[in-house]
Chains A and B, each alone.
Chain A
């Protein structure tokens, strides 16, 4: 599997590590209640098909990336810097 890092170009998957759903970028406000934080921390969908997930280019430029990957085919559909991803500008809604 190869991932096209927006900064480094196409790289081997050994340079990257997987973190989890990109939803982690959209965290609740500090005032949000227990329910919202519980949902943010623990509840994830497990879709068969395209998912948005966080990857870390630890052996490369050390960017956090949001990778859109099809979980049934492992096809990588798109890659963007986490700071540019829409999740980074959203707040979790419980």
Chain B
């Protein structure tokens, strides 16, 4: 039997620190896309609460409990991060393991927000994007999921096949931000 080795999407590329900002890759975690079936939204929210103690997130919101997070991931879907999905959800939703489909990175540091502001058209101000909020938007020209983890900490999830591009675009913005701060 061949033993396959799990290889992180950004292996060999991260972590990188430029100026005040660090881009790193958290340990790989189970990622499961959960999309409620039509009319099963309430039942799914209840099953999610029972199985994972997680609140089903409104558009643009996240919830977290016991090291797991449920991140709103677009219209009528959320991404369960950190734990394998309970089979009890299957009756109410389409449940798909996408652990190997996404590259997940964390951008943090004093100028992290300014770095991101160079790449996304989102309003990054506190009142528009508080800690715990999430958005689907663009990072440079790529579709991505952006979540504010802390005051200066952002989780960015992009397509795994484009992981090197994601790192390239983010580090380019980090470099130009650092160059500007030195003046």
Contacts and interface: CB of A to CB of B under 8 A. Distances in A.
A7 B59 contact: yes
B136 A8 contact: yes
A59 B75 contact: no
Contacts of B74: 60-63
Contacts of B123: 10
Contacts, number: 39
Interface in A23-68: 58-63
B143 A58 contact: yes
A63 B75 CA distance: 6
A61 B138 contact: no
A9 B138 CA distance: 15
Contacts of B135: 8, 60
Contacts of B150: none
A91 interface: no
Contact of A61 (B121, B122, B128, B136): B136
Contacts of A7: 59-60, 75
A14 B121 contact: yes
Interface in B124-142: 128, 135-138
A34 B59 CA distance: 42
Interface residues of B, number: 13
A10 B121 CA distance: 10
Interface string B45-63: 0000000000000011000
Contact of A59 (B59, B60, B128, B136): B136
Contacts of B122: 11
A66 B81 CA distance: 32
A59 B122 CA distance: 11
B173 to A, nearest CB: 17
Interface centre among B128, B135, B136 (most CB of A within 10 A): B136
A14 B59 contact: no
Given A7-B75, A62-B74, A63-B75, A15 B60 contact: no
Given A14-B121, A61-B74, A8 B59 contact: yes
Contact of A15 (B59, B75, B128, B138): B138
B60 A14 contact: no
A62 B121 contact: no
The 8 closest A-B pairs by CB, nearest first: A12-B121, A7-B59, A63-B75, A61-B74, A61-B75, A59-B138, A60-B136, A62-B74
Interface of B: 59-60, 74-75, 121-123, 128, 135-138, 143
